[in-house]
Amino acid sequence: MADMPIGERRHLAPPAVETGALGWTRKHLFSSWGNGITTVVLIGAIGWVLWWFLDWAVFTANFSATAGSECRGQGACWALIRDKFRLIFFGTYPYEQQWRPLFAMAAMLAMLVLSADRRMWNWRLAVIWGVGSFITFLLMFGQIHIPFTLLALVSLAVGAGGLALRKGIAQPQELNGYRALAAVGAAWLALRIVGLLPAWSIPIAPFDYVETSLWGGLPVTMILATYGLAFAFPYGVLLALGRRSNLPLIKSLCVGFIELIRGVPLISLLIMASVMLPLFLPSGVTIDKFLRAQVAVILFAGAYIAEIIRGGLQSLPKGQFEAADALGLNYVQKTSFIILPQALRVVIPPLINTFIGFFKDTSLVLIIGIFDFLGAANQALVDPAWAGYPGEVYLFAAFVYFCFCYSMSRYSKYLEVELNKGTRR
């Protein structure tokens, strides 16, 4: 055949044993003797485990019992989940009000899913989070009192931030606007601190108030993880910038804090928040347990986020810093327009992995007596009528955690590919 001109050669199909299902099986399962034996043994083992599991979880399982005693001698007692799923998902939240945490969870999920879309990574993100958080907490608390002091604080922050960011870039009118905002905010705060202004607030109270000690289940896990990370993020950025700073005192403060937090387990911080924080505050002032745990999570997450962001900062070539300096940008402008956008872009996938880690780690708050999702699952086991079926409850909880974490890790993998499209060859 080799002496024939190329155009006239007959095209032979590849041998049947090398393509299609047969070829694939040969190549991936039976490429050698050892490989074949491994495959056979594994198929046997998987079949045995799967049969045993299906028998337990489906064929002999009880879906309709009304008490644990009816499940004796049978497979999985899924009726327990049917009976207790509202306790597992919403904890001790008032029973007839449980539609509220359900919708709060929906709002948070919508907020998270929308933030996952890259087209939203601009001013829209602030709107999404503002509206989403407002709905979530309004539903969870039932009543929110927005103090004027908070509005003044926001006005001061927006004004000062705008001044620092837009100096030398914006028109004078815009800068005057920022100055006015900052001045109004500062004046209000000053008058409030002096005591001339009363503590006015805007009450929004459509529902009954539900205090945080009654919160429980999945909403608590989601709130602790989401807001833990949301607040830890700016704080971690500051710590990372501080650690890379040339100023020796700032640098040593940040290094000391980061290493201290990363060196101790989260439990010790949670125990500290639950027994030591009350000692730190002046007598009479109390912070509720939920907020204390949230503060501990924020402090803890901040140190880990700082280290990730530092990695992003270190990956930037020196030229970027020098070019920003050469353009005459000040530190705030250089950092927020040149350095952080590039540094953060690199670290988004590891940041999502950190979020997954914290989503799991929030389960530790049950040790200081907050009923998060796992804590509520533990509560479901306490009922003597259903005693003796821990496996079902924990497998169910594991499945829910898995759905959340697995989808986030897929998203992080997708982003990693997506964000590197420009640099990939």
- According to the binding rule CB under 8 A, does residue 367 interact with another protein? yes
Contact pattern from residue 203 through residue 242 relative to another protein, giving x for each residue in contact according to CB under 8 A and a dash for the rest: ----------------------------------------
Work out which of 94, 234, 278, 369 binds another protein, going by CB under 8 A: 278
Q: How far apart are CA 98 and CA 217, in angstroms?
A: 11
Q: Would you count residue 6 as binding another protein (CB under 8 A)?
A: no
CB of 247 to another protein, least distance (A): 5
Q: Does 327 bind another protein (CB under 8 A)?
A: no
**Contact in structure between 132 and 165 (CB atoms under 8 Å):** no
Spatial separation of the C-alpha atoms in residues 290 and 295, rounded to whole Å: 9
Nearest to 392 by CA among 39, 29, 51, 53: 53
- Residue 46 or 202: which CB sits closer to another protein? 46
Is there binding between residue 249 and another protein (CB under 8 A)? yes
The 3-state DSSP class for residue 202 equals strand
Residue 335 and residue 305 in contact, taking contact as beta carbons nearer than 8 Å:
no
Assess contact for 80 and 393: CB atoms under 8 A.
yes
Residue 163 binding another protein, by CB under 8 A: no
Q: Which is nearer to another protein, 35 or 92 (CB)?
A: 35
User: Which string of DSSP letters, residue by residue, matches 258-326?
Assistant: HHHHHHS-HHHHHHHHHHTHHHHSPTT----HHHHHHHHHHHHHHHHHHHHHHHHHHTS-HHHHHHHHH
For residue 141, how many other CB atoms are within 10 A of its CB? 20
Question: Which residue type is seen at 65?
Answer: A
Binding flag, residue 22, another protein (CB under 8 A): no
Residue 405 C-beta: closest distance to another protein, Å: 4
Q: Is 266 one of the binding residues for another protein (CB under 8 A)? A: yes
C-alpha dist (Å) from residue 341 to 48, 122, 336, 351? 52, 12, 7, 14
Segment near another protein (CB under 8 A), from 8-16, 54-62, 190-198, 357-365? 357-365
Q: How many angstroms separate the CA atoms of 400 and 111, rounded? A: 19
Q: Which residue number, 169 or 398, has a Cβ lying nearer to another protein?
A: 398
Given candidates 5, 14, 73, 282, which one binds another protein under the rule CB under 8 A? 282
Q: Is residue 275 part of the contact set for another protein (CB under 8 A)?
A: yes
Q: Which amino acid is at 141?
A: F
**110, 135, 158, 271: which one binds another protein (CB under 8 A):** 271
Binding residues for another protein, rule CB under 8 A, total: 56
335 CB neighbour count, 10 Å cutoff: 19
* Segment contacting another protein by CB under 8 A, of 94-102, 158-166, 198-206, 262-270: 262-270
* Of residues 395, 379, 375, the one with CA closest to residue 387: 379
- Residue 17 or 260: the one with the smaller Cβ distance to another protein is 260
Binding of another protein by 384 (CB under 8 A): no
Positions in the binding site for another protein (CB under 8 A): 28-29, 31-32, 35, 38-39, 42-43, 46, 246-250, 253, 260, 262-268, 271-272, 275-276, 278-283, 356, 360-361, 363-364, 366-367, 374, 378, 381, 388, 390-391, 394-395, 397-398, 401-402, 405-406, 409
